[in-house]
Structure 1
């Protein structure tokens, strides 16, 4: 029981941290209305206040350079959708293999982490290719970097993983071995609140 509480406490923000994060999110929301036309910050904040456990994940997105922002509202589920909206792939999540299997398959020069484990630890999910394309319709992201995206199991079973970037006015989807990593490749995540 104590162990569970310790884990829970680790994933809670103090009142001061919550207020600071909400202030940052509100300022970003108001500055980038093109990402969420027709949505109101007061309703988003009310939802966040009702689900404070999600603030920890949003703070992790912020802490690692993702600059999370609202990009949609699922009216059926009543959830607001946040994506990482940093201009380039989040700095605190670069130089990582795709997943644990890819990381462990490296013989030398192993990076410190992998995208799937990091996202899981943060309580978020990697963007899918479709979500990545949706994000790019809002404005241009990853013009100098690239981001791992959720990879279909048939590709992953053969050792590959997918990543995307935006060049020449288009989204490009590429493949690499899941064990590869680059200083200019990270991952973008999504969170529903």
Structure 2
């Protein structure tokens, strides 16, 4: 999806708008001070971003508005599924890690799949913000953007929530687990 700008058919777009509106209204504390008609208007003028939100939805992310960038005026959509999106698990961190595996390679990497969808992995700050909006990753974990210094040494970082605490961990970038996926962010 990253190589071409996809748009949805009118019926698909209307259906997704309905899903997003329902989720928005059901989870008002996630986006205090933001009005759905404003978000809807922004989505209507950015059909390629609506198509990205559709991919986030299809892969189990349950995207929702979590804020607004005051500098750009863009709304921030995060994956708000209770657990790391199911269709985005069992992935190593990036292409270099995937290429380094000699056997038992996963289907893809978190960074490759995020690029295909058209999103970026959450940063640590964004992940911690998400956790102020609810309790996420109680049984799973999510790769997050890894600092270059850690990645150069072969590692990657991920987070989860256990014991009512958000934990920040490390692992080899080539590792992958059935309970580890990734969460993304899209600016609209």
Give the structure-2-normalised TM-score. 0.97
- Residue in 1 that maps onto 2:30: 35
Cα deviation for residue 7 of structure 1 reads 3.5
Partner Cα distance (2:69, 2:174) in 1? 35
**1:88 aligned onto 2:83:** yes
> Residues 57-113 of structure 1, C-alpha deviation per residue, up to 9 Å, x if partnerless?
100100000000000011221100000000000001000000001111111110001
Taking the aligned partners of 1:174 and 1:35, their CA distance within structure 2 comes to 26
The question of 1:170 aligning with 2:165 is answered yes
Greater CA drift, 68-77 or 142-151: 68-77
User: How many aligned residue pairs are there?
Assistant: 186
Q: How does 1:67-146 map to 2 (within 5 A)?
A: 67-146=62-141
State the SS of the aligned residue for 1:164: strand
Give, in whole Å, the separation in 2 of the partners of 1:13 and 1:49.
Answer: 11
**Given the alignment of the two structures, is residue 18 of structure 1 paired with residue 13 of structure 2, yes or no?**
yes
User: Aligned pair 1:187/2:179, yes or no?
Assistant: no
CA RMSD of aligned residues (A): 1.0
Q: Which runs of 5+ in 1 are unaligned?
A: 1-5
Unaligned runs of 5+ in 2: none
Question: By how many angstroms is 1:188 displaced?
Answer: 0.1
Alpha-carbon offset, residue 38 of structure 1: 1.3
Q: Distance in 2 between matches of 1:60 and 1:7?
A: 14
Q: Tell me, in whole angstroms, the C-alpha distance in 2 between the residues paired with 1:122 and 1:33.
A: 26
**TM-score, reference length from structure 1:** 0.95
| SS state at 1:161 partner | strand
